[in-house]
Structure 1
Amino acid sequence: MKQVLQHRIDSTFAHYDVNRNGVIELADIYALANRLLQAFGEPASSERGRELVEAYDRFWEMLAEHCDTDRDGRIGPVEYRDAMNEAFVEGGPINMDFLEVVQSLLDLMDTNGDGRVDASEFGVLLKARGLSAEECGRAFTHLDTDGDGAISVQEYVTAVRDYYTNPAEDTPGSWLYPRALQRI
């Protein structure tokens, strides 16, 4: 059980280490933001693009504050693993900045401006993370826990907590990243 959760933490570290140099740095976080902007066809100079980049700035600040224990501007795998264990596996609090990042992410995903993130909109994010079209549909079904046809901030945050705390394979959180990354 603990091995599955540790593998998930290591998998998200690998996802965040975009340039594959063994550490997470601000440049990696900007690369993730850029990947999403490209996936949504949103220029960084637009209002929504700037909001996402600003949210990812706050995400980096949150990660650095909680993970970068030696304050060198780089988060190594052990620093990340220890912080994620403390924050999620051991039941520590989720920083309010995380909620703001999720809100900005969901705002960007709401491409039709109806205030909801439907399956096709959410699928763009999941495809940018490497999920297949089929996995995106199944993931949406698992994450839309209230069945209203949209992913809310609360559903997304609950899924993230679930990803880090519940080793079962068919829970909402287990669908946030490609299945292959989660297997050990």
Structure 2
Amino acid sequence: MAVEVTVPDPEVQARALALRFRHWDRDNSGFLELSDLKTSARRLGEAFGRPVNAPEQLALEESCRQLWEILARHADVDHNGRISQDEFIAAFTEEVLADPAEFDRVYRILLENVVKAADADGDGKLDLGEYVRLMESWYSAGESDAVAAFAKLDRDADGFLTLEELVRSAMEFYLGESPPLAAFPPSR
């Protein structure tokens, strides 16, 4: 199911992408590197007790690698394995968000693999506890921030988050319509 892409306010979108950049810059170097995305995947797997060779873990790591390759192809023109925040914003906007099919091919699949890795009971959705662990490990969010984000994202108030709810949230975040995850700064 392809997402509908609307034209966002460029300043709002840049702020959302800058926040995402800071979440993923795990070593706080001011650059995004493949190792930052691998660290995010490893931390998520560890939080859910996933062995490094578990299918969910391998799929998540592959999704991170694919995202990195798309961003690097656009932004790492000097081939030094690093992408600055400005390069990240331009690459993510032009390579992932500009085309609904590309968003589905790259980001939806990444979110799907994040959900699979965080779905401890295997029911295909995330309960509050799973979501809190996900947010603490993947984005370094605090528990209270993750609980508040869960409440905003669980629009049908069924106590679970589905992949579709998370995809919709991501699009709203990146398009600046309703940035539910922007409430918390990255913590290390």
TM-score over 0.5 for the pair: yes
Residue 145 (structure 1) shift: 2.3
Q: Retained in 2: the 8 A contact 1:17–1:23?
A: yes
Q: Secondary structure at the match of 2:32?
A: coil
Q: Give the one of 20, 24, 27 matched to 2:28.
A: 20
Residue 30 (structure 1) shift: 0.9
The letter of the residue matching 2:26 is V
Residues paired across the two proteins, number: 175
Q: Give the one of 82, 98, 102 matched to 2:90.
A: 82
Task: Note the 1:1-184 alignment, pairs <5 A.
Answer: 3-86=11-94, 92-93=99-100, 94-128=103-137, 129-166=139-176, 171=178, 173-175=179-181, 179-180=184-185
Q: Retained in 2: the 8 A contact 1:62–1:98?
A: no
Residue 3 (structure 1) shift: 4.2
TM-score under structure 2 length normalisation: 0.78
Residue 70 (structure 1) shift: 4.9
Residue 43 (structure 1) shift: 1.9
Q: Retained in 1: the 8 A contact 2:153–2:180?
A: no
Residue 55 (structure 1) shift: 2.2
- Show structure 1 runs of 5+ residues with no match: none
TM-score under structure 1 length normalisation: 0.80
Residue 164 (structure 1) shift: 1.9
RMSD: 2.5
Instruction: Please identify runs of 4+ aligned residues in structure 1 that moved more than 3 A.
Output: 1-5, 65-73, 84-89
Give % identity: 27
Residue 47 (structure 1) shift: 2.5
Q: Secondary structure at the match of 2:134?
A: helix
The letter of the residue matching 2:62 is E
**Structure 1's 114 and 47: CA in aligned 2 closer, same or farther, altered over 3 A?**
same
The letter of the residue matching 1:179 is F
**Structure 1's 139 and 43: CA in aligned 2 closer, same or farther, altered over 3 A?**
same
Paired with 2:185 and 2:21, the residues of 1 have a C-alpha distance of 15
Paired with 1:47 and 1:130, the residues of 2 have a C-alpha distance of 24
**Structure 1's 77 and 131: CA in aligned 2 closer, same or farther, altered over 3 A?**
closer
Q: Secondary structure at the match of 1:142?
A: helix
